[in-house]
């Protein structure tokens, strides 16, 4: 197939050459016959290099996975370790909340004890003027039973429960922030891969066009229709594009690897994405027409600050409970046995039970006042920080909107520039074929077209990335339904 294409290009060059009138100052074909062999060898070497390049870039490995942006986001949000860890953090905070609630339930315990008397207690008593010593107690003492305690009024416990509830809400919001960050990273990585692929396609197309121009110029040189300088310039143009094509191909591979890492998939999986940047042009202008009232109500940073403020207030109330009394209830049901031997089966066990209330009233605790003051200072600090953060976020929103507007205008301008550049290249080709133009004009027209196409892709990419950053700041987390 490649040989067939080469033959068609050669025949087209021959037809063009035969239709052109020799200029007065053209070189004699017989005069350059000795140099043609070396030049043909260079041409064949360049053709082989191109074949290797095309084989590397177009070989389609088996088992490729094609995905779009929505599928990439869905995979990332389900398999990325960051999202998984954030979900685990929520479960951890929920368990802490259950632990706080457990303080409302009674504590029930079974207890048992055994003691061996090494030396019994001696008591001296006076009987009719005579003192008499008596040893009291037994050698073995056993006790065991049930103990129950229950908080009746515990203000600190109630405040702690409310604090853990807010901590769970904060963990959920942090998980949402991680989700928003992952959506932003995956979206931008996806767009980066689109940009890399589109840039590679543009450069590869430019390389092939430069090679086609070289083939035409080379055939015209063989016929003595153009100077050797034109052939050298065409050859240099082809060779100068080769590093750019190789670099662009490496950029595609690197962008794919980055997207795989964010998606949490194995690097050996052959990943291909659907579409190109031009597919987003219509959505681009739809977003410009749909002017929205941008609000920071969904911003995760502000939400976290609001939850932190709630927790600081709750912590302040918790510190104030140090001035409040606590009341607890207790119940005990025990069995005891006192014996001098180890005949357990003959022991007599005697039960006893009790119920009681314990009231604790704090009178003075010096550390409470500084803690209350510290909580108040932290709360005021957070309020100032929130105001400054909100101003900075409003500035970022306006900056992203300005970038989107500028990029949209650039897309319109660059699209028209591509049409003009394509027309200019066609004119330059015709002028050169009829001998009215120079090789410099032909190369310049090709460079202008390539640069315009790259600029167009970059402007679409800039708009999409600015839009992704804007959605992250505004807290749009509905990217994946």
Query: What secondary structure, in 3-state letters, does the chain show?
Result: CHHHHHHHHHHHHHHHHHCCCCCCCCCCHHHHHHHHHHHHHHHHHHHHHHHHHHHHHHCCCCCCEEECHHHHHHHHHHHCHHHHHHHHHHHHHHHHHHHHHHCCCCEEEEEEEEEECCCCEEEEEEECCEEEEEEECCCEEEEEEEEEEEEEECHHHHHHHHHHHHHHHHHHHHHHHHHHHHHHHHHHHHHHHHHHHHHHHHHHHHHHHHHHHHHHHHHHHHCCCCCHHHHHHHHHHHHHHHHHHHHHHHHHHHHHHHHHHHHCCCCCCCEEECCCHHHHHHHHHHHHHCCCCCCCCCCHHHHHHHHHHHHHHHHHHHHHHHHCCEEEEEEEEEEEEEECCCCHHHCCCEEEEEEEEEEECCCCCCCHHHHHHHHHHHHHHHHHHHHHHHHHHHHHHHHHHHHHHHHHHHHHHHHHHHHHHHHHHHHHHHHHHCCCCCHHHHHHHHHHHHHHHHHHHHHHHHHHHHHHHHHHHHCCCCCCC
CB 316 within 8 A of CB 375: yes
pLDDT confidence of residue 291: 56
Sign of the Cα pseudo-torsion (23, 24, 30, 33, in order): negative
Residues of the chain predicted below pLDDT 50: 1-38, 40-41, 44-45, 48, 51-52, 54-62, 480-481
Rounded to whole angstroms, the maximal C-alpha distance in the chain is: 161
The C-alpha atoms of residue 81 and residue 182 are separated, in whole angstroms, by 11
Q: How many other CB atoms are found less than 10 A from the CB of residue 403?
A: 17
Q: Indicate if the alpha-carbon torsion angle 173, 175, 178, 179 is positive or negative.
A: negative
Q: Give Cα separations from 147 to 100, 350, 358, 361 (angstroms).
A: 21, 16, 15, 24
Alpha carbons within 13 angstroms on the beta-carbon side of residue 165 total 9
Length of the chain: 481
pTM of the model: 0.73
400 CB-contact burial (10 Å; exposed 0-12 / middle 13-18 / buried 19+): buried
What is the crossing angle of helices 281-289 and 439-474, to 10°? 50
Half-sphere exposure of 410 (CA within 13 A, CB side): 19
Residue 195 is predicted with a pLDDT of: 94
Other Cβ atoms closer than 10 A to 331: 15
Residues 269, 257 contacting (CB under 8 angstroms):
no
Q: How far apart (Å, rounded) are the C-alpha atoms in residues 186 and 233? A: 43
Distance CA 69, CA 275 (A): 10
Q: In what order do the strands lie in the sheet with 107-116?
A: 107-116, 140-153, 326-339, 350-360
């Amino acid at each position: 197939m490649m040989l067939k294409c080469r033959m068609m290009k050669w025949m087209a060059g021959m037809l063009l050459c035969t239709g052109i009138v020799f200029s007065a100052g053209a070189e004699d074909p017989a005069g350059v016959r000795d140099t043609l062999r070396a030049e043909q060898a260079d041409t064949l070497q360049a053709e082989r290099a191109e074949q290797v390049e095309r084989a590397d870039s177009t070989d389609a490995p088996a088992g490729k996975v094609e995905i779009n942006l929505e599928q990439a986001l869905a995979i990332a949000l389900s398999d990325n370790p960051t999202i998984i860890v954030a979900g685990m953090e929520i479960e951890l905070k929920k368990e802490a909340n259950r632990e706080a609630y457990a303080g409302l339930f009674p504590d029930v315990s079974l207890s048992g004890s055994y003691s061996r008397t090494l030396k019994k207690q001696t008591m001296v008593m006076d009987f009719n003027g005579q003192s008499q010593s008596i040893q009291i107690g037994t050698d073995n003492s056993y006790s065991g039973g049930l103990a129950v305690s229950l908080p009746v009024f515990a203000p600190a416990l109630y405040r702690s429960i409310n604090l853990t509830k807010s901590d769970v809400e904060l963990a959920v919001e942090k998980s949402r922030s991680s989700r928003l960050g992952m959506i932003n990273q995956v979206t931008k990585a996806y767009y980066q891969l689109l940009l890399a692929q589109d840039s590679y396609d543009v450069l590869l197309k430019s390389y092939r066009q430069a090679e086609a121009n070289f083939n035409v110029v080379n055939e015209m040189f063989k016929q003595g229709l153009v100077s050797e300088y034109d052939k050298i310039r065409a050859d240099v143009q082809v060779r100068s594009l080769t590093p750019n094509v190789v670099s662009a191909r490496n950029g595609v591979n690197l962008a794919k690897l980055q997207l795989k890492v964010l998606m949490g998939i194995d690097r050996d999986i052959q990943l291909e994405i659907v579409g190109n940047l031009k597919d987003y042009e219509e959505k681009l202008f739809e977003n410009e027409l749909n002017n929205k009232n941008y609000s920071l109500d969904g911003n995760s940073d502000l939400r976290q600050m609001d939850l932190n403020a709630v927790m600081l207030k709750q912590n302040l109330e918790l510190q104030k409970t140090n001035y409040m009394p606590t009341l607890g209830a207790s119940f005990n049901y025990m069995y005891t046995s006192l014996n001098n031997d180890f005949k357990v089966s003959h022991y007599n066990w005697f039960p006893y039970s009790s119920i009681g209330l314990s009231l604790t009233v704090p009178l003075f605790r010096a550390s409470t006042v500084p803690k209350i003051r510290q909580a108040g200072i932290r709360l005021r600090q957070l309020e100032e920080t929130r105001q400054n953060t909100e101003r900075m976020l409003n500035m970022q929103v306006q900056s992203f909107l300005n970038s989107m507007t500028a990029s949209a205008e650039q897309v319109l301008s660059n699209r028209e520039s591509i049409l003009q550049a394509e027309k200019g290249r066609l004119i330059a080709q015709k002028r050169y074929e009829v001998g009215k133009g120079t090789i410099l004009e032909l190369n310049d027209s090709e460079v202008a077209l390539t640069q315009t196409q790259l600029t167009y892709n970059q402007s679409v990419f800039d708009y999409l990335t600015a839009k992704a950053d804007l959605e992250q700041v505004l807290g749009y987390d509905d990217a994946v339904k």
